[in-house]
Amino acid sequence: MASDSDSSESSTFLQLATSTLVALFVESVLYGMFCLLFALAMSVLLTKRKRNASGTRPLLGVSITMFLLSTVHIATDLKRAMQGFLFGENLTSVSSISYLLKDTVYILQTIIGDGFMIYRVYLVWNGDRRVVFPLLILLLTGFAVGIVSLDLFAGTKGDNVANPIYLPNLHAWVVSFFSLTLFTNAMSTLLIAGRIYTINLSAAAAGTIFGRGLGPAIMIVVESGLIYTVALAILLGLYMNNSYATYILVDGEVQIVGIVFTMIIVRVGMGLSSDREANTLASTRNSKGTPARYPSAGGRPTATLELTTRGGGVHVETSTEVKTDLELDSDVVYGPGPKGREMWGSQEV
C-alpha cells in the first residue's frame, strides 16, 4: 500500500512538474509575441498620432498596464519554477505568496481586458445603458468571484494535496470565474460585430458605394474576439475535466489577453486586415478632414460614410439624418476628433 501511495505521489509530481515546464515554455513564447506587438502598438499610438490625443490615452494606459502585468506574471512563474526544480520547494502550494501573486495578476489582466471590451461596446452602442449595464454587472460579479477565489486559495493548505486547485471548496468558484469571463467576452464581441453589421446594412440601403466597406471592421473584431473566447472555452473544458493542461493554458491566458488587445491596434494602425478594402475605408476622408460623400444610384439621396474619430466611432450619415457613432477598432486607435464635437447625440439606426 505504501508503495502504491509513493508511486501515485511520484506520478502526480511528474505530471505537475511537466505541466509547469511546458506552461513556462508556452508562456515565454506568447510573451515574446506580446513584446513585439506591444512595441508595434506603441509605435502606432505614439508615432503615427499626436501624444496628446485624448482618444489614445486609454489605449496607452491599458496597453502599458497589460504589458506590466504580463511581465510580472512570467517573472513570477520563472521564480516558482526555479524554486521548485532547483531548491525543492512544493509546487502544489496555492497559498504561497508567489502563487497568490500570479493569480492576482491573472484576475487583474482578465478584468482589464473585459473592462475595455465593455468600453468598446459602450462606444459602439452610443452609451446605451440597456446594453452596457448587464455587461458591467457581469464584470463586477466576475471581479467579486475572483477576490473570493483568492481568499480561498490563501486559506488552502496544499502541501499534502496532489492537485489543490481542484478541491471542492475551490472548484465552484474557479468555474464561475472562467464562465463569467467567457460569457462577458463572447457577448461583447457579438454586440460589437452585430452593431457594425447593422450599420453596414444601413449604409448599403442608403445607396453608398461603400456600403460593404465595414466588412473588414467586423472581421477584425470577430477574429480578435474569437481568439480569446476560444482560449477561454478550452480552459474551462480542461478545468472541468481535471486536466493538468489547465496549468499550461491558464498561464498563457495572461499573455493572450494582451496579445488580442494590441493585435487590433497593430492590424489597423499598420494597414493589416483580412480584406483589401480596409485601407479604402481608412481613406474616406479627404485631405481637409471632411466627410467623403458618394452619390447613390438611381437618384436616391446622397449618403455619407464618414470615418470620424468621435470617441472612437464611425459616423454614418444620410440626408435623412441617420447618424450612428460606431466603434471601429481602427478609429479607436486614432483618437477623438476636433475639440467641441459631441461624443454622443446621434440617432440610432
Q: Are residues 119 and 149 in the same domain?
A: yes
In a domain, residue 2? The reply is no
Question: 116: closest CA among 22, 124, 274, 340?
Answer: 124
Q: Are residues 215 and 327 in the same domain?
A: no
Q: Are residues 235 and 291 in the same domain?
A: no
Q: What pLDDT does residue 234 have?
A: 93
In a domain, residue 152? The reply is yes
Q: What pLDDT does residue 288 have?
A: 39
In a domain, residue 346? The reply is no
Q: Are residues 244 and 318 in the same domain?
A: no
Give the cell for residue 123: 462606444
**What pTM, to 2 d.p., does this model score?**
0.73
- 3-state DSSP assignment of residue 122: helix
Query: d(Cα 166, Cα 175) in Å, to the nearest integer?
Result: 10
Q: What pLDDT does residue 136 have?
A: 96
Give yes or no for a contact between 197 and 213, defined as CB atoms under 8 angstroms apart: no
Domain that holds residue 324: 278-333
- 3-state DSSP assignment of residue 303: strand
Q: Taking the alpha carbons of 193, 197, 198, 200 in that order, is the dihedral positive or negative?
A: positive
The alpha carbon of residue 268 and the mean position of all alpha carbons in its chain are separated, in whole angstroms, by 16
pLDDT in tens, 26-49: 999 999 999 999 999 988 888 765
Q: What pLDDT does residue 290 have?
A: 39
Q: What pLDDT does residue 198 have?
A: 79
Q: What pLDDT does residue 102 have?
A: 92
Number of domains in the chain: 2
The alpha carbon of residue 108 and the mean position of all alpha carbons in its chain are separated, in whole angstroms, by 12
CA distances from 201 to 5, 130, 217 (A): 65, 23, 13
Q: Which residues of the chain are under the pLDDT cut of 50?
A: 52, 160, 209-212, 272-349
- What's the first-to-final CA gap in the chain, in angstroms? 72
DSSP 287: T
Q: Are residues 61 and 165 in the same domain?
A: yes
Look-up of cell digits 506603441? 42
Neighbours of 172 (CB within 10 A): 12
Q: What pLDDT does residue 286 have?
A: 38
What's at 124, amino acid-wise? V
Q: Are residues 199 and 171 in the same domain?
A: yes
